[in-house]
A and B are shown apart, each in its own frame.
Chain A
Amino acid sequence: VSEPVRVLTAHWDDPSVIPLKGYEAAGGYRALRSALAMSSGDLVQVMKDSGLRGRGGAGFPTGMKWSFVPQDTGKPTYVTVNFDESEPGTCNNRELVEREPHALIEGTAIAARAIECHTAFIYVRGEYLWQGLLVQRAVEEAYAAGYLGKDIMGSAYDLDIVVHRGAGAYICGEETALLSSLEGFRGQPRLRPPFPAVEGLYESPTLINNVETLMNVPHIVANGADWFKSMGTEKAPGTKMFTVSGKVERPGNYELPLGTPFGELLELAGGMLGGARLKAWTPGGSSTPFLTADHMDVGLDFESISEAGSLLGTGAVIVLDESDCMVEAARRLTEFYAHESCGKCTPCREGTWWAQRVLSRIEQGYGREADIPLMADMGKNILFKAFCALADGAVSPIQSSLRYFMDEYEAHVREGRCPVTGVGPGRAMQDAAGELSVDEVVEAIP
């Protein structure tokens, strides 16, 4: 097993770095000082050379994203930090901020400097009430010490950071929805192009980066692109935070070089809870297709996970064991998407709502034979048929559980109960239900 590399988590055992003084003592804000002495173009180039890719899910090259923001349009440029971490199973941004809030402020300031931005926004999900307070306090400390505000460290560069709270909407993690929300509208996605880099917040060029992405930035500026590329894989350098939850002995956030095999992460997390057998896992949260025990050796990086048929996403690993019902898992996640669909696109709004009803019927033992192909068909009719990736994410748990656990779906329908948990009325009852209308069946579901 490879040693966990500690870049983002190097100070996690040291609470003294939470307030500014301790963060400075540990070398904090030196990278910002270096960045202020560099040109915007040089900063963008370092980020490009490092090969850093966005940690929020899509894995887009960060330096390229920075380079897309024009600085000569006559409009202001903006940095917007996406701290709306809401993907089920994901909580590394939360712990990164809890343990080293100033690293986020420093990364944000460097990114702002790189695109000549003078006002940055940190969008914190509403449920992170305490973490938002930590960010707010770090911002205030940074102002008081001259790391924010006017003429930062005598560089003639000015930057303000505004902390903005969300109010409980998963969709606001989607970057264009986040901008709508920040502008004071419903958090609904917008059509791209124009991309936010060209026309984002307040119709101005805008850079949107995830918390973990930005926290890598001071390390890259301080240690150089080559150092960063010495970790991880060629196409995905650096480390990644993985949140492991579900049926493991030691759930938690772990930092590993990208490309580390899944089996090593599972071992770091103490292995399966109670020594049970692994059944399924998500590599990157609820929107990424389930993988199985056959994927133990798959490397945790964008390319390897993609080749295995899933997505690295946010690195949120949810682990299920043999006592867990896959139909229930798919139903729970589908309910989430049905609740969080913003309602803009019909395939997503209607599709997720109907899918959760049908999945619920199968789970409860009232499923019909036609329900299984119906689910597969619904998946096809939602995937890539909506404005944003929420709809595509909603399809992941359904299609992947069908792919790997078709037997389990069929057994639910055939036996009229869950083959794993035994929940359900049984076949006789299911036959009787066949005489009823859809509405009556739904009514009969407890």
Chain B
Amino acid sequence: MAVFDAALRAQAEQVKARYPAGRERSAIMPLLYLAQSVEGHVTREGMREVGELLAITTAEVEAVASFYTMLRLRETGTHVVSVCTNLSCALVGANDVYEAAHEAAGIPHGEELSEDKLITLHEEECLGCCELAPVVQVNAANHDRVTPERIREIVETLRRGEVPEPARGPAIRDFKQASRVLAGVEVPT
């Protein structure tokens, strides 16, 4: 397997074992997160191998993978920056933050990936942190009450190869690490 090497395959088996016998298909989302943690997004080969691990077809895997926005089927930056523009955030300035993010990352409207492939910018629906709006996540780590100045700093920090300190919880190195954490195979320090 090109995506799941021997070590990852062993982890995949552990993930499957979380679910009742005969119900291993429940592991499809964590397995897709594992595939994503290798390639930065879920590729066709990743889906084929997940299908092989679960004894289902690639088409069945794709039906699931294509449903969920955090499983990314397109080429994705090292970091995923998500800016919430839903109502609670919009009421306190999220639009300006989103515009500043586009500008700082050098990503034109209608596109999501920066030219250097460092950042994927995602206009996000509610991130469930509405009392701390406007909310931004970098690789699913939260930044509270973000201003346009702050989002520019966050982008600059990523450009320097550093990880911006989140408001709470551990810093997540990159989107691949976030995917491993979400697969439940890594606990960041």
Please give, as numbers and ranges, the residues of chain B lying within 8 Å of A87 by CB-CB distance. 126
Please give, as numbers and ranges, the residues of chain B lying within 8 Å of A169 by CB-CB distance. 67-69
Among residues 67 to 126 in chain A, which have CB atoms less than 8 Å away from a CB atom of chain B? 76, 85-91, 93-94, 98, 119, 125-126
Among residues 27 to 83 in chain B, which have CB atoms less than 8 Å away from a CB atom of chain A? 27-30, 32-33, 54, 63-64, 67-71, 82
Cβ contact within 8 Å between B29 and A165: yes
Kindly report which residue of chain A lies nearest to residue B65, judged by CB atoms: A167
Q: A167 CA to B82 CA in the complex, in Å?
A: 14
Size bin of chain B's contact surface: 35 or more
Cβ contact within 8 Å between B18 and A162: yes
Please give, as numbers and ranges, the residues of chain B lying within 8 Å of A252 by CB-CB distance. 131
Among residues 324 to 363 in chain A, which have CB atoms less than 8 Å away from a CB atom of chain B? 324, 328-329, 332-333, 336, 339-340, 342
Cβ contact within 8 Å between B128 and A86: yes
Q: A162 CA to B20 CA in the complex, in Å?
A: 10
Size bin of chain A's contact surface: 35 or more
Chain A nearest CB: distance from B80 CB in Å?
A: 11
Please give, as numbers and ranges, the residues of chain B lying within 8 Å of A164 by CB-CB distance. 26, 29-30
In the complex, identify which listed stretch (A26-34, A35-43, A239-247, A405-413) lies at the interface while the others stay far away: A239-247
Among residues 72 to 110 in chain B, which have CB atoms less than 8 Å away from a CB atom of chain A? 82, 85-88, 90-92
Known contacts A163-B184, A164-B26; is A129 also within 8 Å of B131 by CB? no
Please indicate which of the listed interface residues A85, A246, A324 has the most CB atoms of chain B within 10 Å of its own CB: A246
Cβ contact within 8 Å between A130 and B141: yes
Please give, as numbers and ranges, the residues of chain B lying within 8 Å of A333 by CB-CB distance. 86-87
Determine whether B168 belongs to the interface, using a CB cutoff of 8 Å to chain A: yes
Please give the residue numbers on chain A whose beta carbons come within 8 Å of chain B beta carbons, in ascending order. 76, 85-91, 93-94, 98, 119, 125-130, 132-133, 136-137, 162-170, 181-187, 202, 243-247, 251-253, 286, 316, 318-320, 324, 328-329, 332-333, 336, 339-340, 342
Q: List 13 A-B contacts (CB under 8 A).
A: A93-B128, A129-B141, A166-B29, A183-B25, A202-B23, A245-B130, A246-B88, A246-B91, A247-B91, A286-B86, A316-B130, A318-B88, A328-B90
Add 19 more A-B contacts to A129-B141, A165-B29 (CB < 8 A): A88-B88, A127-B140, A129-B172, A129-B181, A130-B166, A130-B170, A132-B182, A133-B187, A165-B182, A165-B184, A182-B26, A186-B63, A251-B131, A251-B133, A286-B126, A324-B91, A329-B87, A332-B85, A342-B67
